[in-house]
Amino acid sequence: MLVFVILFTFSSTAFAAKKKETGPTNEPIPEPTLSPDAVKYDEEHPENLSTDQLYALSAVLMTQDKGEVIFEKDADTIRYPASMTKILTVLLGIMFVDDPDEKVIVSETAVNVPSDSSTMYLKAGEEVRFIDILYGTMLLSANDGANVIAETVSGDIPRFVDLMNETALAFGCYNTHFVNAHGYHDDNHYSTARDIAIIAREAMKNQTFREIVGTVTYKIPRSNMQRARTITTKSEYMLQGSEDNPNKYYFPYANGIKTGSHSHSGYCFAGSASKEGVELVSVVMFTGKRARWADTIKLMNYGFSQYVSVTPVDLYNMNPIVIETSNYSTSDSNRGKIQLICQPVDGNTEIVTTKSDVRRMADNLKDIVLIQYSRDFQAPVLAGELMGTMTFFPEKGDPVVYKLTASRGVDVRENVPKTLEQIIQETYADPNPFPPFGFELALILFGPPVLIIGLIVFLVLRRKRKGAHKLRAPKPVNRYLK
């Protein structure tokens, strides 16, 4: 029993001491290595990526449009997000400040950050445009900038942190808790790869946020206390590269987002990339300084090898509609068959799905669209003539309408009898549908009545003749009766 109490007391003391730690130690940031048993990564076959080929201890990859998880490695393990925290900080700044060009005054509290913090060198009393604070916070990973955002949005940092936690929970981040706006280490400031990816995905839905994180260099204009200066993003390894300045980690499809690192978190990176309509979000946590770029590229290439972006037109063209017309000319080599062409009316839409699912969607397209025909399938048909519409109903957004037109013309067969509909249409189209009065019209109008009357008169006269004959005939006499 005494041993239990001693152990319990020791554990509680250690836990309490750990909770008091609020900043990085002087220890170097750890660099994980690959397992010696890991299969060598094959750049030619990114689809074969396995978890042991990543340096990161935790990683996740998901689609931007639906948030479908494509790849994960210990994605729900609690880890420290470091400066990836600023993704949510900047997003909330964009959401809650109506005029980004308004100037804010930097407070003493905002610039009161640990000496080893990354900053944008703000000064107390400095007047800076809020949009410049947003860019500086994201590109320079500025802790002082994050504090300015917090105070501008909520009045003070603690209330802003409450807003951060409420927002994260609303996004579906159930393993996340923030205690500051910038991510400087605190044992109670934690998250997971999955939760950070969820936050990053939500942030990338905001156009202003996308513009900020996709920026490599930005010029902060002169303030009342500092001259103008140009800043460069810490994500430049993936966002910038050229033939003259080769960069092995440059990824042409990358469009953000945020780095993070300290001795407790390792190196981290939340990334985003878009290729041929497929947009992905990745997060790597507790990886190496250079490995975070390599890990991210592996994840992105894996995702692009699995997913493809198609339109309803692409799916339709894999199995187009062919109609059979009637009354087609005997000289028609295709015997009246017409393939319908599908074209967008006002706009198109993208469907991000797995490559293996495209064929199934094409074969079952009629189950997910509404096809309506606007005319019958009788010749003649003109090339390009509208035959109907196809309406696609996306999971989000308004229905998208496509027109179905004839790919070729079909002539009508000679001497084909007119249909009742054609006769009616011709009658309505004729300004004088009734023919002039003449012998033919008189014969049509009066011939049948005269014939009927004549037949009636003939039958009546015939009947009268039969009656008169019966009156004149003698009665038969039976000569043997007396």
The catalytic position among 83, 235, 265, 272 is 83
The catalytic position among 86, 234, 275, 298 is 86
| Catalytic (active site) residue 83 | yes
| Catalytic (active site) residue 115 | no
| Catalytic (active site) residue 11 | no
Measured CA to CA, the distance from residue 449 to residue 187 in angstroms comes to 109
The catalytic position among 58, 117, 118, 141 is 141
Strand partners, 18: none
Nearby residues of 314 by Cβ (< 8 Å), 6 or more positions away: none
Measured CA to CA, the distance from residue 333 to residue 38 in angstroms comes to 62
Measured CA to CA, the distance from residue 284 to residue 81 in angstroms comes to 10
| Dihedral angle, C-alpha 255, 213, 159, 151, nearest 10 ° | 180
Sheet holding 266-275, edge to edge: 69-73, 58-63, 278-287, 266-275, 254-262
Query: What's the DSSP call for residue 228?
Result: -
Helix (H) or strand (E) holding 42: none
Q: Which of 347, 279, 360 is nearest to 313 (CA)?
A: 347
The answer to whether the annotation marks 298 as part of a ligand binding site is: no
Beta strand 307-310 pairing with 351-354: antiparallel
Residues 404 and 385: beta-carbon distance below 8 Å: no
Measured CA to CA, the distance from residue 160 to residue 180 in angstroms comes to 8
Q: Which of 179, 178, 158 is nearest to 169 (CA)?
A: 178
Amino acid letter for position 110? A
Strand partners, 61: 71, 282
H helices within 364-412, ranges in order? none
Nearby residues of 119 by Cβ (< 8 Å), 6 or more positions away: 111, 113, 140, 142, 143, 144, 145
Measured CA to CA, the distance from residue 443 to residue 437 in angstroms comes to 10
Q: State whether the Cα torsion 289-292-297-302 is positive or negative.
A: positive
Sheet holding 400-406, edge to edge: 322-324, 337-344, 400-406, 386-392, 369-373
Measured CA to CA, the distance from residue 49 to residue 38 in angstroms comes to 11
Query: In a 10 Å sphere around its CB, with 0-12 CB exposed, 13-18 middle and 19+ buried, how is residue 35 labelled?
Result: exposed
Measured CA to CA, the distance from residue 360 to residue 23 in angstroms comes to 53
Binding site as annotated, residues for substrate: 258
Catalytic site positions: 83, 86, 141
Binding site as annotated, residues: 258
